[in-house]
Structure 1
Amino acid sequence: NLAFSLLAHVMAEKVAGMDYQRWVSENILQPLGMEDTGFEITSQIESRMAIGVYSSGRPAPLYDLGWYRPSGQMYSTPADMAKLVMMLLGAYYRPVLQPNTLKTMLTPLFRCESSYFADQTGTPWEVNEQLGYNVIRKDGDLDGYSASISLIPRLKLGLVILMAGTKPEDEDLVAKVYSSLIPAMESAFRGAPRVLIPPPDSVPYMGYFTYGNITFYEIKADADGVLSLEQFGPQVDTMVPMKYRSLKLSYLQDRVFRVVFEKEYPCQLKVNAASVSLESQDGQLFNFYIINKKGLSPGFDVPGLNTYKVTRIPRKPIFS
């Protein structure tokens, strides 16, 4: 804590040319609209605060950390902290930090020994794995109060716990909440309808294509103009069930589409390596070639699958 306080004061005064509290207010709190967050606990602020209590139930006094304020003396509300969490997840309409800066902040830097309470550490987060996700968190305590802020960047999920009292010694509240939230989020994502966008004109992309006369594909459009791709011919992977052989191509921008499976596939298919193939295809980009004088795209590439020069053929081939 001493190191963080020293660093905060030195950087604010020597680099930014102002005191730490002013810098935080002008560069973080005000841009994010965190109107109920600050350092100075006035009588008006104190009248709105929950009363801190020790584990014995005795009320805890408020006191000023003075020079050590960067180590932990701030008051806030769950609503204000939610704005900070959304900003850190890149999901708030008032960005404060550049995307690359956020990525650096949320990337674990060091793997910890098994005796340490976190699996990894970052700047300045502790990182633990839960149900396959990195949970990035920071906890803090003052007499009579405790707080925790945590993020799961992959799910765009955050959790803030502000307590008037001490944290339970025999239970990790953050882990307990995420044990319910993570499965619920995964279920919601799987059940959400997939939005498919048709291109302005489907005709240039429709037709038959081949990769080196080895594999063959048909691209057609449905009544809404959304493109679908289906492989046919002797090289079709029979391990992949029929309902997973049709891919939808959702339009992104000029001649670029994203692969979307027509049906959601299970996490693991009992078809040997086919599940790996399916997961690697989902979300990949199709880049169609420039439209020719006939108004047709002569082929496409799928860089993410290391597939190039899939070319148009004039008609559906007949196999003997």
Structure 2
Amino acid sequence: MKSFNHRCDFRIASLSKIFPTLMLYKLWEDGLVDSLDDPLEKYADNFTIKNPLGKSGGSLRDPGVRSPGLSLRRMASQLSGLPRRLRSTNLLWSGDTESALNLLKDEVLVADPGTRCHYSNVAFSLLANVLARKVAGSDFESWVSDNILVKLNMEDTGFNLTPRIQKKMAVGVYSNGQLAPLYDLGWYRPAGQMYSTTADMAKLMMALLGVSGGLVLRKDTLNTMLTPVLRCHDGYFANSTGTPWEINEQFGYDVVRKDGDLDGYAATLSLVPRLKLGLVVLMAGVRPGDQDLVNRAYSYLIPAVQSAFRDARKTVRPPPDPTPYVGFFTYRNMTFYEIKADSDGVLIMQQFGPQLDTTVPAKYRTIRLDYLQERVFRLVFESPYPCKLKFNSASVSLDIQDGQLFNFHVFTKKGVSPGFDSPGLNTYTVTRIAGRPFFISQ
């Protein structure tokens, strides 16, 4: 029996769809694609398909048809309306893109583009081959190798199941225990042909999260790629769709994932972008039907990472000179604050006075201000702290307050700030007062 390790190859099936999507974003980033919302017809002159569910019920190429349009972004986000596969074809179909375009002329869109989530292998194979030929001037697989695999040092990832690769591969197994054969996909290769290892997929995962040295896309482009495109209808297997992701929510975080299943193999690459957290699962066997292993893993990982971030000691920077910020302040004469500098020059703000927020324990009424730039600070709670404090039926979210910005007003002629705002907390004109006030008990 073959033992598994991080260099063992598995078929990754529909995780292959990540690579046509990366190609689209890279060509757009480089200015070779004008817009992610360019229509497919711009790059495939002879593309036409019937669109009976469009407003005019015609073809996407008919004059006067007012359709949302089959755009490149919609092709990469399961919003194209294209069928799952071409009529009379399977994954082994050996036709070419011209043949595919000819078959599409008598096909119908199953949904008006951009209106409904519908899974399509056709969309990704067509997108990959059209962009490679018309824009990149290369074949798709060579482009992926040169622009992604080599850059990320993914040396155990590829398309061709050569004898050398087959010797390294985990053996796929059907649910009945029968061994699954290895075979090459035909024209649908961009949608599901690739193989990889957990080590290589971890490299890709870090690049997608923007946390590795070998970045394929700029961070602003990655943010666009990881943003949900449309909320899906009830009955679809994800809450929202993205490019090329299926997106659900767990613990208030978007979990961005791509699953793949193909004859004895199952694979998942998933990301929690806000936490810079990711998980790769490659299986030689059928995905368990009675539980979602990824959701179960995140039920432990997300709270643990949340806790680690909160508990980590944060570096708080002092301003060049604390003097302009030190003093007493009030918000509408209801709440009062003192700002002073500690021995390191870091600003400390503490609430006092008769209107203390008694729902917040004393240790959470003292906060530190992290200097970002002139007159701008970030609020930092002492760690650790709970996300929410529960008091009877009410709760106070400290997690929301932590990290909010304080914007101090322009200094007066005396060289001090007359007050500050916290736009994120919808709090404006917290005003400087001359000294600590005296309060008379009623």
Range 194-203 or range 289-298, more displaced: 289-298
**Cα distance per residue 1:125-175 (max 9 Å; x no partner):** 222233433322211122232211111223221111112222223332222
- Which amino acid in structure 1 is aligned with residue 201 of structure 2? M
**Do the aligned partners of 1:217 and 1:230 also contact (CA within 8 Å) in 2?**
yes
Shift of 1:237: 3.0
Contact 1:244 1:265 in 2 (8 A): no
Q: Is residue 190 of structure 2 the alignment partner of residue 54 of structure 1? A: no
Q: Where does residue 154 of structure 2 map in the other structure?
A: 34
Identity of aligned residues (%): 64
Paired with 1:57 and 1:50, the residues of 2 have a C-alpha distance of: 14
Pick one of 224, 230, 238 that aligns with 2:358: 238
Deviations 1:49-89 (A, max 9, x none): 22223333333332221322101111211111112112222
2: distance between equivalents of 1:244 and 1:92?
35
Describe the SS at the equivalent of 1:115. Answer: coil
Matched, 1:149 2:272: no
SS at structure 2 position matched to 1:168: coil
2:430 to 287, 310, 318: 310
Q: Name the structure 1 match of 2:9.
A: none
In structure 2, the residue matched to 1:20 is 140
**Structure with the bigger percentage of strand:** 1
1:275 corresponds to which residue? 396
Q: How does 1:1-320 map to 2 (within 5 A)?
A: 1-211=121-331, 213-262=333-382, 264-270=385-391, 275-276=396-397, 278-292=398-412, 294-320=414-440
Q: What root-mean-square deviation, in Å, do the aligned CA atoms of Structure 1 and Structure 2 show?
A: 2.5
Higher mean C-alpha deviation, range 210-219 or range 88-97? 210-219
Q: How far 1:114 moved relative to its partner? A: 3.3
Give the Cα separation in 2 of the matches to 1:283 and 1:83. 30
Letter in 1 for 2:342: D
* Whole-Å separation in 2 of the counterparts to 1:280 and 1:126: 27
* CA distances 1:21-70 after superposition (whole Å, capped 9, x unpaired): 12212222222222221112333323322222333333333222132210
Are the counterparts in 1 of residues 388 and 395 from structure 2 also a CA contact under 8 Å? no
Cα offsets for 1:249-280 (capped at 9, x unmatched): 1122233210012352451331666615x454
d(CA) in 1 for partners of 2:354, 2:400: 22
TM-score (structure 2 length as normaliser): 0.65
Please tell me the residue identity of whatever aligns with 1:107: T
* RCO higher in structure (CA 8 A, sep ≥6): 2
Alpha-carbon separation, structure 2, partners of 1:124 and 1:244: 42
TM-score, L = length of structure 1? 0.88
Runs of at least 5 residues in structure 1 that lack an aligned partner in the other structure:
none
Q: Is the 8 A contact 1:240 1:274 kept in 2?
A: no
CA distance in 1, matches of 2:359, 2:296: 40
1:165-204 superposed Cα distances (whole Å, 9 cap, x missing partner): 2222333222222222223223323332233222233233
Distance in 1, Cα, partners of 2:420 & 2:310: 29
Asked if 2 retains the 8 angstrom alpha-carbon contact of 1:78 and 1:162, the reply is: yes
Could you list the runs of 5+ residues in structure 2 that have no partner in the other structure? 1-120
CA distance, structure 1, for counterparts of residue 344 and residue 243 of structure 2 = 48
